[in-house]
Amino acid sequence: MWRMLTALCVAAGALVLGLASGSRATPAAPQDKADPKPAAAPGCDYLGKGPTKDSAGDISAGIQACELCHIGSTKGQAAKFLKVYQSDEFVLLNESETWVNSDIHSHATKCLTGPLGKQMSANLKYNVAEAPACLACHSADKSPTKPLADKKYKDFATADGGVNCTVCHGLHERWQSDHYKTPDQEGQPLPWRSKNPDYKWERGMADLRNPVVKAKLCASCHIGNAAEGKVVTHEMYAAGHPPLPPFELSSYMEAEPKHWAYPTDPKLKFFAGLPADERWSKFHFHPEKDESYLTRHYAVGAIAALRAEAEVLLADAEANLKGGDGIDFARFDCYACHHDLKYPSERQKRGYESVPGRPTLRTATGVPATLVAKHAEGIEAGGLKAKAAGFEQKWAALRKAATTRPFGDPKAVQAAAKGVVEWCDGFLAVQCESAAPLYTPDQAKRLLGMIQGAATGPSSLADAEAAMVLSWGYLTLAKEAKLPLPEAKLQGLSKVFPLNVRVEPYSVKGMEGAPVPAQFPPRMKAVNAFESMMFRDAFLGLTGGK
């Protein structure tokens, strides 16, 4: 168990969940123990690599192992790392404690047996606490590469009661034993710490400081990932699964009880002393003055979310081309259909992009991604501008394919979704590879201005979720940019919808049961009562436009 000290080096990552890339978790165990040749400018090749079958099931342990060091104690084995290796200047060392006590992810498995889980089991006629389709997101999936149909209950680690450390940081036990290995000679630094991300990934540790890795991992559950069997179906929603809230990475990070720290945190002394060329290559880390940390996450999160949506849609379309019951309702915007019919109708006043009455793709994913793509057209660094071109056309083609007939024409959706995924990959590759700071403070300000414009512009005005996700993002980035956010004006906006991504009490120690249902009704109430002009006034009031 000593060997399972795990996370010492894990550090930053894992906002919420977080493993690697579109394909997760464990890679093949390396054949030799020699370090791979460090790349001069480490790329993101590993993002495309998935776990292999050989490594499936090779999960080391649950949180007990991590807790030996990451529990915030200065005693026992942890004391050595604190004293000899100053590990608290590299990570916080109380990660497990934060996760257990405050992090909603620690409830993910437990909630399957709570009141809502029981109700869903009754409605679905299967036990959600044992169903692979549920456990894929609600526990630690030990075999992410296995097709969903082949997965069994025993493929999941459920003992920790939630989405535990290994889900985000990596399943393979190899890194877990390596990351706390002490050097042969006293006085040397910990060997693991000096390795680059490729090396660590080859041993199964996800590079969660890389915003792309983090965003793709989060999106794999918070949006979906068909290859990993993580798809919320309309049947599940109808049986009671709460609608997934819009995914906005920077706001989710802000809301998360953090077991990692921002670059601005004075505790992270280790990074302050790093040579500039190592900051990005080894740690995917830019100091605060070079880059807006949260803006980069906002941008990467928005595109990763769109990519995840497009990929789930693509998988559904391809399955349907082989025969199926049509693309699942859940791939479309919930509120395109789910609204009470009111007259006068804001929808009818606004007009329709396609034929009236066709379910559309999710506005709350499309609007931020469109903004980020447009914003990127003004970023020369890293060649981002060139990669950003052509977004509008590809995204419009997918929207059209999805509405050309009710619930989309699978063939047209297939082609258009591929185009969107490709575009997203090009964008994310720059984000991953370019060592140049992309989201400088000036660029961050420009994006804030664009979010403000979009939030009060005609396309998102009439959509509660889009307004909500744009507001969340605006508040998060404005806070980082230290813009004034007067309390009275915030209260005005909070009357339109909850401004917090999370609703307390989440951070209540020992809380059992299902926290999600607690925040679900207020959010739905806001969505249902949304009135665009009220929102516009409140938002303009807050942002100084009025």
Partner 1 sequence: MRSALVVGVVMFGVAGSGLFKRAEVPPPPLDAPLPTAKPYGLAKPPFGTVSSTSCAAASCHGGGKLDTPRSEYSTWAATAFTNRKLYDPHSTAYRVLFNDDSVRIGKLLGIKEPHKEALCLKCHSTEGVKPEEAMSEGVGCTACHGPADKWLDVHMLPEWKTLSNETKYTDYGFVPGKNLVARMTNCVTCHVGDADREVNHDLIAAGHPRLAFEYTRFQFNPTYRHHWDEVMPQPDFEVRAWTVGQAVTLRAATDLLRVRAERAAAGDTKTPWPEFSGLSCYACHQSVTGGDVGRDAAHPRRPAGVPGWELWSNAAAGVAAELCPDAFPGVAPPGLRELAALRKLMQKRSPDPKAVAVRAKRAVAELDAWLAALQTAQDKGQMPPLALAAPRRFAHALAANALSADRAMLADYDWDANSAHYLGAAAMYHASGGRANEPKWSGPIFGLANELDFPKRKSGERFDSPAGFGDAKRARVRDSFRELFDATSGR
- Which residues contact partner 1 by CB under 8 A? 116, 119-120, 122-124, 233-235, 237-240, 242-243, 324-329, 334, 337-345, 348, 351-352, 355-358, 405-407, 517, 520-521, 523-525, 527-528
User: CA dihedral in degrees (340, 469, 541, 449; nearest 10)?
Assistant: -140
The residues that bridge with 230 in the sheet, in sequence order, are 225
DSSP string for 75-139 = SHHHHHHHHHH-GGGTS-S-HHHHHHHH-GGGGTTGGGGSHHHHHHHHHHTS-TTT-HHHHHHHS
Nearest approach, Cβ of residue 421 and partner 1 (Å)? 24
Q: How far is the CB of 60 from partner 1 (least distance, A)?
A: 37
Separation in Å, CA 466 to CA 141, 256, 348, 369, 451: 31, 21, 18, 11, 11
Nearer to partner 1, 309 or 316 (CB): 316
- Encoding tokens for residue 6? 């795990």
CA Rg value for the chain:
23
Distance CA 15, CA 325 (A): 36
417/527 with CB nearer partner 1: 527
Q: Of the two residues 126 and 262, which places its CB atom closer to partner 1 in the complex?
A: 126
Dihedral angle of Cα 349, 351, 352, 358, to the nearest 10 degrees: 30
Least distance in Å: CB of 404 to partner 1? 8
Query: How many degrees, rounded to 5, is the angle at CA 262 between CA 257 and CA 263?
Result: 170
CB of 455 to partner 1, least distance (A): 23
Residue 102 C-alpha from the chain's centroid: 18
Longest dimension (CA), the chain: 77
CB nearer partner 1, residue 107 or residue 296: 107
Cβ neighbours, 10 Å, residue 51:
25
Taking the complex as a whole, the smallest distance from the CB of residue 340 to partner 1 amounts, in Å, to: 4
Q: How far is the CB of 413 from partner 1 (least distance, A)?
A: 13
Residue 503 DSSP SS3: coil
Q: Is 220 helix (H, G, I), strand (E, B) or coil?
A: helix
Of residues 277 and 531, the one with the C-beta less far from partner 1? 531
**Nearest approach, Cβ of 516 to partner 1 (angstroms)?**
9
The residue (of 124 and 310) whose beta carbon lies closer to partner 1 is: 124
Long-range own/partner contacts, residues 181-188 (CB < 8 A, 24 or more apart): 182/84
Choice between 302 and 514, CB closer to partner 1? 514
Closer by beta carbon to partner 1, 119 or else 434: 119
Minimum CB separation of residue 537 from partner 1 in Å reads: 18
Count other Cβ atoms within 10 Å, centred on residue 365.
Answer: 25
Least gap, CB of 105 to partner 1 (angstroms): 21
Report the residue number, 289 or 338, with the smaller CB distance to partner 1. Answer: 338
